[in-house]
Amino acid sequence: MKPLGNKINNNRIVFKLGGKSISDGEKAKKLAEKVLFKLKTGKQIAIVVSATGDTTDLLIRYCEKACGGKVSKKDLDEIVAMGERTSARLFAATLKAQGANTKFLDPSDIDWPIITDDNFGDANPLESECLPKIRSKLEQLFNENIIPVMPGFIGKTLRGEITTLVGVEATQQLSLSLKP
């Protein structure tokens, strides 16, 4: 997956928070303080969050053992996405607790911006669908001085089914795509 689009805006920062960097409440609180410091410099900020610690690996191993290798890629995508979704929701709450105006974006939202093909477990973003949604959603939030916080490496199909994106660096690439 490559970053979608190519327009750079130097007034915007996209933080990509890895799982280990927010693996406990103290780490999350310190990162939230750094985000708020950047916000005070006049930057517009978006945040993409990975699952905490080893959550994704634990969920995959659990499914493999519990389902004996018979879990569908579609079901596994739904399950694995829960780690990312929970971490992003927790970090949005951490920011709010420190006074930030945030919006947790979730793939269940009607206006979720990352639309993919239906290749479960290895989905590719549909650039023609994603770019207008990314730009309109983020512009709206930036104009309202709201920090969007979203889970990484998750998309959804045109039918609204949860997918996980191609490759281990998908969260990083998603982060780059959000800098319209």
Q: What is the CA radius of gyration of the chain?
A: 16
Ranges of each domain in the chain? 12-177
pTM exceeds cut of 0.75: yes
> What's the pLDDT score for residue 177?
58
The set of residues, in sequence order, having a beta carbon less than 8 Å from that of 7 and lying 6+ positions away, is 180
CA distance 44 to 152: 19
CATH code for 12-177? 3.40.1160.10
CB-side exposure of 150: number of CA atoms within 13 Å?
28
> What's the pLDDT score for residue 1?
35
Asked whether the beta carbons of 159 and 123 are under 8 A apart, the reply is no
Q: What is the pLDDT along the chain (180 residues), one digit of tens a residue?
A: 334 444 456 788 888 887 788 888 899 999 999 999 999 998 899 999 989 888 988 999 999 999 998 999 999 999 999 999 999 999 999 999 999 999 999 999 998 999 999 999 999 989 888 888 888 888 899 999 999 999 988 999 999 999 998 755 555 555 555 555
CA distance 110 to 127: 18
- Letter for the amino acid at 150? M
